[in-house]
Amino acid sequence: MNKTSYPFLDLGTVNRPYAAAIEEAAMRVIASGRYVGGPECDAFERELAAATGTDFCVGVSNGLDAIKLIFKAYIAMGRLHKGDAVLVPANTYIASVLAITDAGLVPVFAESHPRTMNLDTARLEEFYTPAVKAILTVHLYGRPAYDAALRDFAESRGLLVVEDNAQAIGADAPVPGINGSTRTGSLGHAAAFSFYPTKNIGALGDAGAVTTSDAELASTVRALANYGSDRRYHNIYEGYNCRLDPIQAAVLRAKLPHLDAECARRRALAAVYEREIKHPDIIKPVVDSPDRSVWHQYVIQVPGRDSFRAWLESQGVGTDIHYAVPPHLQPCYSRYAGTPLPVTCMLADTVLSLPVSACTSEADAEAIADIINRYRK
Ligand SMILES: *Cc1c(COP(=O)(O)O)cnc(C)c1O
């Protein structure tokens, strides 16, 4: 018998298989007496660096702080200066842009490709100005936004490449990055991770990380995240408190070994949707061969999205929208509201995210596809 309800995401269900390991991890921290920093944070940093293929990892408080700290560190190092511009996809979560403006840098919004919904790497030149000193590429929806065009564009202009890898832990780009590996988080000069509970590997609260193979950047980020201090009671920067909580580090250590299985499960669900959704009005996301996305979201495009969504809701299918209002149209960024970004605005009006988490089985995805195929306007 078919189920009657297909929730978009339920974090209790996501974490249930890990409950015993999470409990043990938290108890280890409680017993250790080390509640800031310490061996769980050190071990997590080593394990994430190894999983990413970078020399260094610095655990931090959340994904937004991870991106902020990267930009602030480059400014502290003299590699970027306040007022420099950063190319960023206009179709992204607002945190990408908040990090740029918080550091005193200027976002230059670039269009996304209408089908990949990620940075259109063939159009970078159109948005480039001589003030641009860095690219913040965002692997949105789990799809690597890095290719030979982006790599060559950045290299020929001497731009720093920073990855917003909040949604794409475990994904692989079609070409190797500057460190010789294809893994997202190792492609550019530095990368930011988020372990917000809804991400593919989620903590039980806020958590994030910075990865890099640049020793100076790693030590600058670490100092900035710890009051600007390079050793105890010695402050070289006017820093912050943006440290990773060791309980979250221990929780993440319980989940990180299952990263490959998590990616495979999401790819299997995406493959079911790709095979089974046949409605002529629905544009499905591009699937590469081999599939390199880790499907943080499975995002279809539907004209008349809002009535389609309401209908799915009436059939018990939970959905979400990532994102209905792009950053440059948010009230806090009214100064960018006039930027012409037709592709981004089209996406904001048509994108719809289908369930793709551990709450959804392949049979559920088949049933959801059936429901979608039955839609009539
Ligand atoms: C979640 C997310 C962030 C921010 O991470 P937090 O841990 O929530 O601060 C940044 N960028 C993108 C693309 C995200 O999805």
Task: Answer whether the bond into residue 273 is a cis peptide, omega within 30°.
Answer: no
Give the predicted TM-score (pTM) of the model.
Answer: 0.98
> Which of 64, 67, 70, 198 maximizes ligand 1 atoms within 8 Å of its Cβ, making it the mutation to test the pocket?
64
Q: What does the pLDDT read at residue 4?
A: 83
Q: How far is the CA of 270 from the centre of ligand 1 (A)?
A: 22
Chunk the chain into consecutive blocks of 10 residues (it has 377) and report each block's average pLDDT, rounded to whole numbers: 84 96 97 97 98 98 98 98 98 98 98 98 98 98 98 98 98 96 98 98 98 98 97 95 98 98 98 98 96 98 97 97 98 97 98 96 98 94
Report the first-to-last Cα separation within the chain, whole angstroms. 27
CA–centroid distance for 51 within its chain: 16
> Which of 140, 167, 201, 323 maximizes ligand 1 atoms within 8 Å of its Cβ, making it the mutation to test the pocket?
167
Our CA dihedral for 48, 53, 54, 60, rounded to 10 degrees, sits at -20
Q: How far is the CA of 193 from the centre of ligand 1 (A)?
A: 8
> Which of 119, 196, 294, 295 maximizes ligand 1 atoms within 8 Å of its Cβ, making it the mutation to test the pocket?
196
Residue nearest to atom 5 of ligand 1 (CA): 63
Residues 6+ apart with CB under 8 A from 344: 89, 90, 91, 109, 111, 112, 326, 328
Residues 6+ apart with CB under 8 A from 179: 53, 54, 186, 187, 213
Look at residues 147, 145, 178, 149 and name the one whose alpha carbon lies nearest to residue 164: 145
Q: Quick one: how many helices (H) and strands (E) in the chain?
A: 13, 11
Residue showing tokens 């392949």: 362
DSSP state at residue 324? S
Q: What is the DSSP string of 136-169?
A: EEE-GGG-----HHHHHHHHHHT-EEEEE-TT-T
Tell which atom from ligand 1 comes closest to the C-alpha of 140: 13
Q: How far is the CA of 44 from the centre of ligand 1 (A)?
A: 19
Tokens at residue 179, please?
A: 């460190």
Q: What is the DSSP string of 57-103?
A: EEEES-HHHHHHHHHHHHHHTTSS-TT-EEEEESSS-HHHHHHHHHT
Q: How far is the CA of 203 from the centre of ligand 1 (A)?
A: 13
List Cα–Cα distances, 201 to 13, 139, 193, 321, in angstroms: 14, 15, 10, 20
Q: Please list, residue by residue across 350-361, b when 16 or more beta carbons sit within 10 angstroms of its beta carbon and e when fewer do.
A: bbbbbbbbbbbe
Q: How far is the CA of 195 from the centre of ligand 1 (A)?
A: 8
Q: What does the pLDDT read at residue 377?
A: 82
Q: What is the pLDDT of residues 10-42, one digit of tens each?
A: 999 999 999 999 999 999 999 999 999 999 999
Q: How far is the CA of 165 from the centre of ligand 1 (A)?
A: 8
Question: Are 101 and 79 in contact, with CB atoms under 8 Å apart?
Answer: no
Tell which atom from ligand 1 comes closest to the C-alpha of 206: 7
Q: How far is the CA of 61 from the centre of ligand 1 (A)?
A: 12
Q: What does the pLDDT read at residue 2?
A: 63
Look at residues 250, 266, 211, 286 and name the one whose alpha carbon lies nearest to residue 49: 211
Q: How far is the CA of 3 from the centre of ligand 1 (A)?
A: 32
Region of residue 158 (left: phi > 0; alpha: psi -120 to 50; beta: else): left
Please name the helix (run of DSSP H) or strand (run of DSSP E) that holds residue 40, with its range, or none: helix 39-52
Tell which atom from ligand 1 comes closest to the C-alpha of 67: 10
> Which of 9, 164, 295 maximizes ligand 1 atoms within 8 Å of its Cβ, making it the mutation to test the pocket?
164
Q: What is the pLDDT of residues 308-363, one digit of tens each?
A: 999 999 999 999 999 999 999 999 999 999 999 999 999 999 999 999 999 999 99
Ligand 1 pocket: which residues have CB below 6 Å?
62-64, 92-93, 95-96, 138, 164, 166-167, 194, 196, 206, 208
Which residue type sits at 36? V
Rounded CA separation 253/255 (Å): 5
Residue nearest to atom 6 of ligand 1 (CA): 63
List Cα–Cα distances, 145 to 27, 33, 187, 253, 293, in angstroms: 39, 41, 10, 27, 10
Q: What does the pLDDT read at residue 45?
A: 98
Rounded CA separation 228/236 (Å): 6
> Which of 93, 100, 248 maximizes ligand 1 atoms within 8 Å of its Cβ, making it the mutation to test the pocket?
93
